[in-house]
Amino acid sequence: MSHTAHIPSHRKPRRSASKLALRAGVAGGVLSTIAVAGAAGPAHAAEPVTETIEMPTLTTGLASTAAASAEATQQVAADLQLKAQQNAAASSAAKVAKKAKADADAKAEAEKKAKAEAEAKAKEQAAERASRSSARTTLSASTGGSSSTTTSSSSATGSAATIVNFALAQVGKAYVSGATGSSAYDCSGLVQAAYRQVGIDLPRVSQDQSTVGHQVSLSNLQAGDILYWGGAGSAYHVAIYVGGGKFVGAQNSSTGVVERSMDWDRPTGAVRVL
């Protein structure tokens, strides 16, 4: 027998897989411990062996992925919001442009209509003046022109008498459009010249002369009043009332300055300056 037969064996015990516990903590990077124990033989006590294994941490990767996904979602939402705002702005601009065009078209149409009405009114007034002139010429011819040399004696006094006498003294002179004396007049030129004799400077044209002073009734006229034909402010002819139901006016190029009865051509209204 060998002299080593009774010496116990000191071999390192083999690991046994009879008992294995595995606990893994995935969330939060928890460390798991695996305990492995085994016995070497029936006559010898087993020496426990412990090993620590570090499990991979998954939370960081998942968090990074989630953050990236959230950021991408936010970017998509921002892009959609920006696109919606751009579409709204474009729609608003289109509406504004459409309204501006409609307003411009309406304004142009109104101006065109007003211009056409003004031209029609001017033509109508011109035709009316031509018709009146023709009628006056015809009447003058039928009466032999005697009334153009007829003068009246007026009971006017003071400034009115001066105006009336001046007007009567111009009867028989020529009518020239734009003339203000002393050998020719147009209607407003004669009235202006008559009032200048008493130091009153009237406006030059019929329209303005028909609004000076104050309006008076044709049934309450006084010598020296200004008669007008047409509307106040838009008169196309004026003359001077000399009393006795008559007036003196520069009528037209055919008759020149004449004295006429108001029944020959009834005026529209009258104004009193004196």
Residue 248: CB atoms within 10 Å: 27
pLDDT at 211 over 80: yes
Asked if the structure places residue 6 within a domain, the reply is: no
3-state secondary structure of 227: strand
CA atoms within 13 A on the CB side of 53: 12
Bridge partners of 226, per DSSP, are 240, 271
Asked if the structure places residue 1 within a domain, the reply is: no
Cβ atoms of residues 239 and 227 within 8 Å: yes
Over residues 150-175, the mean pLDDT reads 85
Q: Which residue has the higher pLDDT, 178 or 8?
A: 178
* 35-81 pLDDT tens trace: 434 444 444 444 555 555 555 555 566 777 878 888 888 888 888 98
CATH code: domain of residue 246: 3.90.1720.10
Cβ atoms of residues 252 and 175 within 8 Å: yes
Q: How many independent structural domains does the chain possess?
A: 1
Asked if the structure places residue 99 within a domain, the reply is: no
Per-residue pLDDT band at 262 (split at 50, 70, 90): very high
Q: Tell me which residue range forms the domain holding 181.
A: 149-272
pLDDT at 98 over 60: yes
Asked if the structure places residue 92 within a domain, the reply is: no
Asked if the structure places residue 212 within a domain, the reply is: yes
Asked if the structure places residue 171 within a domain, the reply is: yes
Asked if the structure places residue 38 within a domain, the reply is: no
Tokens of 230: 């047409």
Asked if the structure places residue 110 within a domain, the reply is: no
